[in-house]
Amino acid sequence: MITYDLNKAQYGINPIIVYRLALSAIEALSLNQISDLTDQLVQDKINKNNLEINNFFEEVDMKIHRTHLL
């Protein structure tokens, strides 16, 4: 997931932040097991593994090589 922070952009700071699913979220939702995949997020699995929005995703380090992307 890519986000763009307008407040940071106004001050000249890198406004792009990249997130991905955390390993704990992948394991809790059984995303590595094709036979267990569903088209819905299962709230019981999320609650059972004590996942919250702040630990569901993790920030990924990003380096921008071309300034025109900013």
Q: Number of folded domains in the chain?
A: 1
pTM of the model: 0.61
| Burial tier of 10 (Cβ tally within 10 Å: 0-12, 13-18, 19+) | exposed
Average model confidence (pLDDT) across the chain:
78
- pLDDT of 70 > 60? The answer is no
- The model's pLDDT over 25-57, given as tens digits with 9 standing for 90+, comes to 887 777 666 666 666 667 777 787 788 878 888
> What percent of the chain stands above pLDDT 70?
77
Identify which has the larger pLDDT, 19 or 63. Answer: 19
Structural domain boundaries enclosing 63: 2-69
- pLDDT of 67 > 80? The answer is no
